[in-house]
């Protein structure tokens, strides 16, 4: 895991939207819910949760989509890359999709969420 004082950067595929997050994430997890699968087009989504006050967009601004009551997802309006998840259930947090970070290898998930919705052919070891 990265140092608590470090700064992490990330971006969408085309680079039109860039962001930074300061310090260590509060948690890192895989989400297996249907909503995250559909939003990302992947069998699961891997997130790092940062305090909202430690997260900022540095280039461009993302498009936002209210995917369900109390949930807002951000993505690049140019290339479509999904970037973040913010939910009323976790106030004051921004959940960053690990694959959009410049160093995703530094963010190793330590837990799984909504395992009951996991695809049956996906085998997890956490």
Specify the CATH architecture of the domain 7-117. Answer: Beta Complex (2.170)
Query: For residue 31, is pLDDT > 80?
Result: yes
Confidence of residue 4 (pLDDT cuts 50, 70, 90): low
Say how far apart CA 42 and CA 6 lie, in whole Å. Answer: 29
5-27, pLDDT tens digit by residue? 699 999 999 999 999 999 999 99
Tokens 């913010």 belong to 86
Could you tell me which of 121, 117, 120, 125 has the C-alpha nearest to residue 37? 117
- Residue 97: the pLDDT is 98
Is 0.85 surpassed by the pTM of this model?
yes
Across-strand partners of 23?
A: none
Distance separating alpha carbons of residues 14 and 60, to the nearest angstrom: 11
* Residue extents of the structural domains in the chain: 7-117
**pLDDT tens digits, residue range 56-71?**
999 999 999 999 999 9
Do the strands 111-113 and 27-31 form a parallel or antiparallel pair, or are they unpaired?
Answer: parallel
């Amino acid at each position: 895991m990265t140092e608590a004082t470090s700064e992490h950067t990330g971006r969408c595929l085309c680079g039109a939207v860039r962001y930074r997050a300061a310090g260590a994430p509060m948690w890192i997890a895989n989400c297996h819910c249907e909503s995250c699968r559909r939003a990302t087009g992947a069998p699961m989504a891997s997130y790092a949760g940062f305090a909202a006050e430690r997260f900022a967009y540095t280039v461009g601004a993302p498009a936002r989509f209210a995917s369900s009551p109390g949930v807002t997802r951000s993505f690049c309006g140019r290339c479509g890359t999904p970037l973040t998840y913010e939910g009323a259930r976790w106030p004051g947090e921004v959940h960053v999709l690990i694959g959009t970070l410049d160093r995703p290898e530094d963010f190793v998930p330590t837990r799984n969420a909504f395992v009951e919705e996991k695809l049956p052919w996906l085998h997890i070891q956490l």
